[in-house]
Amino acid sequence: MNAAVLHGAKDIRLEQFRIPELQAGMVLLKIRRVGICGSDLHYFADGYCGSFVPTRPFILGHELTAEVVAVNGEGANMPAIGARVTVNPARACGFCTYCKSGRSNLCRQTIMLGSGSTNPPTNGAMAEYVSVRGDQCHVLPDGMEDGLGAMIEPLAVALQAIKRAGTVAGQRVLVTGGGTIGLLTALTARAYGAIPVVLSDIVAERRQTALDCGVDAVLDPTAPKLEQAVKTLTGEGFDAIFEASGARPALRQAFDLVRPGGTIVQIGTLGSADVPLPANEVMVKEIQFLGSFRYGDVFDEAIRLVASGRIDLNPFITSVLPLNEITKAMHLAGDKVQALKVQLHL
Ligand SMILES: [Zn+2]
Ligand SMILES: [Zn+2]
């Protein structure tokens, strides 16, 4: 099969690759669409992603729509041959304490599609075929386009973050960072009744995109009158802040902009260096500071949100290129001003 294989920094090659073997409990998928994620961009730019350093060349990609072409096993978890599915790329063990208590995103044995987090790295979906466990598949409604199906995984990240905060209905919500995940988090908060939903980003174009997508207001986090603007929007501060930029100043600012008793949810990756925190403010304001990692079992709910029209993901897909233009697609996706989601079709 054709596959886009990452060999190192700025070195991704279209090569012939063996079709994955179909082991027990697994299904073989023929890829129709695959999105380029921020983590794929890190692997492409640097050859590694955070602490994940691949030990050999591998195939990237974990946001996908595909057709089931073969299954090895039977049971309720097995999709039918011919079904069109998206995939939860995190294959948790299913047996540990976390898996059994509904927190499979904390499973220490997770195998992530298209990732250097395992040794050897696990091949992903930027290829004609990929193999996943049957229960990783989520069937897409007939009317949902392939591009939207490949957006369900990033939407699941946003949905997980909203769930970590508890309810957002009626709450004053700020999302810091207007990239794909930040925007998706803002739209999910809006779909679940947060009011107002405010997004902050230092890039003016991203603030405009957020307004176009339907957030109630935007903020420039470097503006001199920021505190006054927040006061006008919220009174005493935000009930919940979702930090999706991974920028240290954004996290620091969140502690000042959250109301007493409010919640901060960390979604963005802040790098490996420690960040100083205003611990006294956490205590005096009784701030809840939470992490949100990937997603739990939220994929079917994410599909319903999109299928019902509550969240329109079409504006997110800024380019769709064929797999053999992978290098061009990576460069396009790296343009943080012009691009939101760049996808590949097969
Ligand atoms: Zn992703
Ligand atoms: Zn587990």
For the chain, the structural domain boundaries read: 2-151+313-345, 158-291
pTM of the model: 0.96
Cα of 153 from ligand 1 centre, angstroms: 7
Cα of 298 from ligand 2 centre, angstroms: 17
Cα of 97 from ligand 2 centre, angstroms: 7
Cα of 108 from ligand 2 centre, angstroms: 6
**Alpha helices per DSSP H over 47-174:** 97-100, 146-149, 152-164
Distances (CA, A) of 119 to 63, 101, 319: 21, 27, 32
Q: What is the number of the ligand closest to the CA of 97?
A: 2
DSSP 269-327: ---SS-----HHHHHHTT-EEEE--S-SS-HHHHHHHHHTTSS--GGGEEEEEEGGGHH
Q: What is the number of the ligand closest to the CA of 60?
A: 1
Distance CA 117, CA 94 (A): 18
Q: How big is the CA angle at 9 (ends 129 and 123), to the nearest 5 degrees?
A: 20
Q: What is the number of the ligand closest to the CA of 155?
A: 1
Cα of 114 from ligand 2 centre, angstroms: 19
Q: 2-151+313-345 and 158-291: same fold?
A: no
Cα of 335 from ligand 1 centre, angstroms: 17
Residue ranges, the chain, pLDDT below 70: none
Distance CA 2, CA 17 (A): 6
Cα of 212 from ligand 1 centre, angstroms: 23
Give the 3-state secondary structure of residue 168.
coil
pLDDT at residue 336, as a whole number: 81
Cα of 101 from ligand 2 centre, angstroms: 10
Cα of 151 from ligand 1 centre, angstroms: 9
* C-alpha Rg value of the chain to the nearest Å: 20
Cα of 50 from ligand 1 centre, angstroms: 14
Cα of 154 from ligand 1 centre, angstroms: 6
Distance CA 143, CA 134 (A): 22
Polymer length of the chain: 346
pLDDT at residue 270, as a whole number: 86
Domain 158-291 has CATH 1.10.1200.10: no
Domain 2-151+313-345 has CATH 3.90.180.10: yes
Q: What is the number of the ligand closest to the CA of 38?
A: 1
Cα of 103 from ligand 2 centre, angstroms: 8
- Where b means 16+ CB within 10 Å and e means fewer, 232-249 reads ebbeebbbbbbbbbbbee
pLDDT at residue 51, as a whole number: 83
